[in-house]
Amino acid sequence: MENSTKCTSSPSSTLTNSVDPAKDAAQNLAHQSKEAVIEMVKQNGEALQCASAALRSDREVVLAAVRQNGRALLFATETLKDDKEVVTAAVKQSGMALQYASEQLRGDSEVVMEAVKQDSRALCFATQTLKGDKKVVLAAVRQNGLALGFASAKLKGDREIVMEAVQLDGRALAYAATALKSDREVVMKAVNQNGRAFWLAAAELQGDRAFVLEAVNQNPNLWLLLNP
């Protein structure tokens, strides 16, 4: 995890050999009271990793941590990773915290919906069932079209979902089902958003003069891509 607070001390590399009070405090969390730990994790959620096992299983402490940094869920006990309120708080702060939730909650549509709304990439950590849930996938691709890559094969062939995805990011056409790469309207929508999506279309459309002319008319930048 990036920029995580370290539990073990290391020799100072500064010329003044100065002490970082925040880092030193985090290293001593294992010996701090519950109140002191809550105050620390409110400032730096990842400091939870340095708390005692008893406090990492304390719901109030963990909630304070994940509300500051959702990824602090990593350091919670398995029981709290299966606590819907705790996990929901975590994914609302950082959608990617979904990866640390229990399998049961990674299959909870309400939790996953909150996660993908915050960060569409969280769809990657949802259960296969929810990767095939149209409402969840629509929420993800409306946040980032490239989230289509995490959807089930069936939904990659869903015209409504693919249209939503390519409208936001034409490159999402790369993840669409083969049949939709031959769909003139879908491809045109993608090319309008990003001219480079033209190269993701089916060969028959790339070789269709009328389609190419229409695409260039709608996105003049495509002409530059076709004639470098």
- The rounded distance, in Å, linking the Cα atoms of 151 and 50 is 37
And the tokens for 200?
């993701």
- CB-count exposure of residue 12 (10 Å: 0-12, 13-18, 19+): exposed
In one-letter notation, the amino acid at residue 105 is L
Q: Within 13 Å and on the Cβ side, how many CA atoms surround 23?
A: 13
Is the distance from CB of 70 to CB of 93 less than 8 angstroms?
yes
The torsion of the CA quartet 105, 56, 74, 28, rounded to 10 degrees, works out to: 170
Q: How far apart are the first and last CA of the chain?
A: 42
Q: Which of 226, 172, 163 is nearest to 197 (CA)?
A: 172
**Structure token digits, residue 187:** 């491809």
Residue with tokens 């909650």: 105
User: pLDDT by residue (tens digit) across 127-172?
Assistant: 999 999 999 999 999 999 999 999 999 999 999 999 999 999 999 9
Q: Is 89 or 211 the better-scoring residue by pLDDT? A: 89
Give per-residue pLDDT as tens, 57-94: 999 999 999 999 999 999 999 999 999 999 999 999 99
What single-letter amino acid sits at 125? F
Residue 19 has pLDDT above 50, yes or no: no
Average pLDDT along the chain: 87
Say if residues 131 and 109 touch (Cβ distance below 8 Å). Answer: no
Rounded to two decimals, the pTM is 0.80
DSSP 219: -
DSSP state of 20: -
Contact between 89 and 63 (Cβ < 8 Å):
yes
Q: CA-CA distance, 73 to 63, in Å (whole number)?
A: 9
pLDDT above 60 (res 17)? no
Please report, for residues 23, 62, 81, 85, the alpha-carbon distance to residue 34 in angstroms, rounded to integers and kept in the order given: 18, 11, 20, 20
- Taking only the tens place, the pLDDT of each residue in 164-176 is 999 999 999 999 9
